[in-house]
Structure formats: C-alpha cells, structure tokens
Amino acid sequence: MNPGAPDAARCKKAIEILEQFDRLAQKLGITIPPRRLQRLRALRDSGAITSNDLPAGLVREFPGEFSGLTLAEIRRRCRKR
C-alpha cells in the first residue's frame, strides 16, 4: 500500500455508512423525518451524499479523513489503494 492511501477498513466503514445510513440510523434508534430521508436517498443514489448530510449520531461513527467528501469521491480514493 502506498503511504498516502487510505486504510481499507476505514474506506469500507465510510462507504457503508453513506450507503446504508437508513438501516444504521434505525439500528441506533435515530429517527429521520420522511422528507429528509427522501432527500438523503436521492443524494446517496447520485453519489453526492457526504457525512455533512447525515444525522449527528452517524457522523460520530464516520471516519474523519473522509469528512465532507462525497460517496463518489470516497469510492475513487479507496480504489486507488
């Protein structure tokens, strides 16, 4: 692995949180209003969701080095390992 490459486990965690935020929020007892949930799903489906879009309970679990990056950007960076 090259020195600037992100850790594989942290990549997986960041991607999982952004892709499965609705399931994880439910598991943690976090309620997301239907309108916001619809918006988050649209962002996820387009690859534009970031940690800044998530409820605070999920942001606390999110790997900091990917903060503010879109799902598409994280996937790109993690593939370059």
pLDDT digits (tens, 9 = 90+) for 7-57: 999 999 999 999 999 999 999 999 999 999 999 999 999 999 999 999 999
Question: pTM for this structure?
Answer: 0.89
Structure token pair of residue 57: 């309970």
Tokens of 51: 């940690």
Q: How confident is the model at residue 6 (pLDDT cuts 50, 70, 90)?
A: confident
pLDDT at 2: 52
Give residue 63's pLDDT.
Answer: 96
d(CA 81, CA 71): 16
| Residue-level pLDDT at 5 | 72
